[in-house]
Structure 1
Amino acid sequence: MLNQIDLSRIDLNLLVLFEIVFQERHVGRAAERLHLSASAISHGLGRLRALLGDPLFLRTPKGVVPTERACQLATSVAEILARIRGVVSTATPFDPRHSTRRFVIGAPDGISSVILHPLLETLREVAPGVDVGIRQLLPAQGFTALHLAWKDAVKEVEDRTIDIAIIPLDDVPVRFHKQTLYEEEFVVAVRKGHPFQRTPTLKRYCEMEHLVVSHTGDVSGFVDVELAKLGLTRRVALTVPNFTFAVSVLAGTEMVSALPRRFLEVHGARFDVVAIEAPLPLPRFSINIVLPKVAMMDTGLAWLVQLLAQVRTGKGGSSVRRSGKRHRSLHSE
């Protein structure tokens, strides 16, 4: 990216400035993050443009957009800065007990709401000054292949908008570190005492009013794919944008919904919503921590990955038992 002659006059802060402007797409917001004036950001961009021979960012009414050259450079700049941060963090070892660092974790709400409480409890004990931000990640619409559905989430973690992503994705590029946090499967969720608990047949399931979690309002999902294989359909009476909303609605209605098992284990009891065996196969996923391999050189991030693996909610199975009989796992149906 930079030739040998240029290295003698490189200001490392220019690469940091590039990274922040690329993430924010806005000079004013970048200035706030860097505690600089907007004019200082503009001056720095001018130096970068002269150095790299490209406009890099083009002004629009809503901020700036990166040029094709800037998009090409973004990954290299992120890798360079990650390596430097790793060197610095090695020189000054990360000490969780005294750190005041803030980590941003990106995850769908069905995952973040499972890991958050045990994570916070552990942080209070081992790293009381460390703060956490949760950023909701959503699958891209219109894709059934997981690597396409979660491509935007992968881009966010590579662009360093978030520190790590926790997503149901196995197929990640080789430049990423992937670590399985837990296994997740979907079950049928209903209010406690729902008639479907007594007659959980496929015919009855198709006759029920269904609730689907969809942030876009799309009524079609993986359940419909499985039903179509059997020549069957269902009525989607309601869509809601997240799992917490879904479980609160189920508590007061006769609707049924396919929800993550671990999510229900954590939150179902306080809503009197229970999980029962589905009368058709429902998906099972590995929930994985994903971040660039170069980011693991940052001892703070490496510590966070290890910590998450230690607090990954060991309780399981009780919410899919009924009348003392353990249901067979959904992935074996």
Structure 2
Amino acid sequence: MMNDAILRKIDLNLLLAFAVLMQERNVSRAAERLLLGQPGLSAALKRLREALDDDLFVRVGRGLQPTPRALAIAPVIEDALSNIERAIRPPAAFDPKSWEGEFRIGMCDNLESAFFGPLAARLRQLSPGSRLIGVASERRDVSRMLDDGAFDFSVAVHGEPPSWHVRAPLFTQSSVCIYDPAQIKLKAPLGLDAYADAPHVAVSFEGNSSTSIDVALAGHGKTRNVVATVPRFSALPTALRAMPAIATIPESIARCMAQLHNLMIDLPPIDLPAEPVSMLYRRVDHADSRASWFRTLFVEVAGAALEASGCKMGISQIAA
């Protein structure tokens, strides 16, 4: 354990001056290397002599001769300074090609459906020795899971984070209607009466069917008929292809579902609040080169995925 009382007496710059004097054995040359005037170096040597209670160097002719104490401590001080120098060097840039560890991301299943595949494919290209781990997360558990190291960052609709987390905006997520035109015949653009009268499938992890959609409909004096509620978005396509029904879901996953399952997308005939999707990560990881590279990669991949799917929302160029 360090002895704080002894170390408080010593300025690190004094040890650097001592090491350079040992190497040069000449005040003028040592002062030049240290970018000091000779009076400044002489003052530093005086302080060091007082702290160590030893002359350390004796002038002999035009040079300096170290005392036995100076010779004894010189190798240890030089090693210590070398270790300090290595410790405070700027970290090497992260090299994804040589990385063989894990990248972990937390997402709910609607965003996972939209982004996980493209992210995994891009990682295989840039970091073939790495592994992408997707971790299921719910809004109420995200902060705790992040603190526990469950993932590098979360992508979701996040609430106000604690001060030790960073919430970076990504995009605003609008809702659209999706249905199977082979099951239910609806005219585009979708009218309010047709929308309210159609059977609805809701998505709710808790099993609740009442959402902001019902609030918006109530403002028009309308109600909807929820015939089924599924806990995950992944169950929605098969439900819509099996029966005449409509669902109102985030645009990012709706575009993916429409392409994969030949479903139809239309705008809802009511104003629904858009939700801000953001990235949440630990403040201590902000400058970490590996974590920063992964966050930047996700922003690039998500932006390309949204554009390719035809989403009208653009992703923010966050300072990842």
TM-score by length of 1: 0.62
Task: Give the root-mean-square deviation of aligned CA atoms.
Answer: 2.8
Measure, in 2, the Cα distance between the counterparts of 1:203 and 1:124.
48
Q: In structure 2, what is the equivalent of residue 239 of structure 1? A: 229
Does structure 1 residue 156 correspond to structure 2 residue 139? no
Amino acid at match of 2:276: S
Amino acid at match of 2:143: V
Q: In structure 1, what is the equivalent of residue 213 of structure 2? A: 223
Measure, in 1, the Cα distance between the counterparts of 2:258 and 2:90.
43
Measure, in 2, the Cα distance between the counterparts of 1:254 and 1:267.
16
Q: In structure 2, what is the equivalent of residue 96 of structure 1? A: 96
Does structure 1 residue 171 correspond to structure 2 residue 199? no
TM-score by length of 2: 0.64
Q: CA deviation at 1:137?
A: 1.7
Q: CA deviation at 1:170?
A: 5.9
Measure, in 2, the Cα distance between the counterparts of 1:220 and 1:134.
29
Measure, in 2, the Cα distance between the counterparts of 1:301 and 1:98.
15
Q: CA deviation at 1:274?
A: 1.6
Does structure 1 residue 295 correspond to structure 2 residue 285? yes
Question: In the TM superposition, what whole-angstrom CA distance separates every residue of 1:20-74 from its partner, at most 9, and x where no partner exists?
Answer: xxxxxxxxxxxxxxxxxxxxxxxxxxxxxxxxxxxxxxxxxxxxxxxxxxxxxxx
Question: In the TM superposition, what whole-angstrom CA distance separates every residue of 1:267-315 from its partner, at most 9, and x where no partner exists?
Answer: 3122111210101112312221101111223321111111111111434
Does structure 1 residue 204 correspond to structure 2 residue 194? yes
Does structure 1 residue 271 correspond to structure 2 residue 261? yes
Does structure 1 residue 285 correspond to structure 2 residue 265? no
**Closer, same or farther: CA 309–318 of 1 in aligned 2, 3 Å:** closer
Partner-residue secondary structure (3-state), 2:257: helix
Q: CA deviation at 1:245?
A: 0.8
Q: What is the count of residue pairs matched by the alignment?
A: 227
Partner-residue secondary structure (3-state), 1:196: coil
Measure, in 2, the Cα distance between the counterparts of 1:122 and 1:107.
18
Partner-residue secondary structure (3-state), 1:251: helix
Question: In the TM superposition, what whole-angstrom CA distance separates every residue of 1:232-252 from its partner, at most 9, and x where no partner exists?
Answer: 211110011111211221123
Amino acid at match of 2:115: I
Q: CA deviation at 1:198?
A: 4.2
Partner-residue secondary structure (3-state), 2:106: strand
Q: CA deviation at 1:257?
A: 0.5
Partner-residue secondary structure (3-state), 1:311: helix
Partner-residue secondary structure (3-state), 2:242: coil
Partner-residue secondary structure (3-state), 1:294: helix
Q: In structure 2, what is the equivalent of residue 192 of structure 1? A: 181
Question: In the TM superposition, what whole-angstrom CA distance separates every residue of 1:195-225 from its partner, at most 9, and x where no partner exists?
Answer: 2234721112111111001122211112112
Measure, in 2, the Cα distance between the counterparts of 1:237 and 1:281.
22
Partner-residue secondary structure (3-state), 1:103: strand
Q: CA deviation at 1:167?
A: 0.8
Amino acid at match of 2:161: V
Give ranges in structure 1 of 5+ residues lacking alignment.
6-86, 139-149, 321-326, 329-333
Amino acid at match of 1:273: L
Amino acid at match of 2:268: A
Q: In structure 2, what is the equivalent of residue 119 of structure 1? A: 119
193-202 or 304-313: which moved more? Answer: 193-202
Q: CA deviation at 1:93?
A: 4.6
Q: In structure 2, what is the equivalent of residue 252 of structure 1? A: 242
Measure, in 1, the Cα distance between the counterparts of 2:88 and 2:156.
29
**Closer, same or farther: CA 208–93 of 1 in aligned 2, 3 Å:** same
Larger-Rg structure: 2
**Which of 283, 294, 298 in structure 2 is aligned with 1:308?**
298
Measure, in 2, the Cα distance between the counterparts of 1:243 and 1:192.
19
Measure, in 2, the Cα distance between the counterparts of 1:201 and 1:190.
14
Give ranges in structure 2 of 5+ residues lacking alignment.
5-86, 314-320
Measure, in 1, the Cα distance between the counterparts of 2:99 and 2:289.
12
Q: CA deviation at 1:155?
A: 2.2
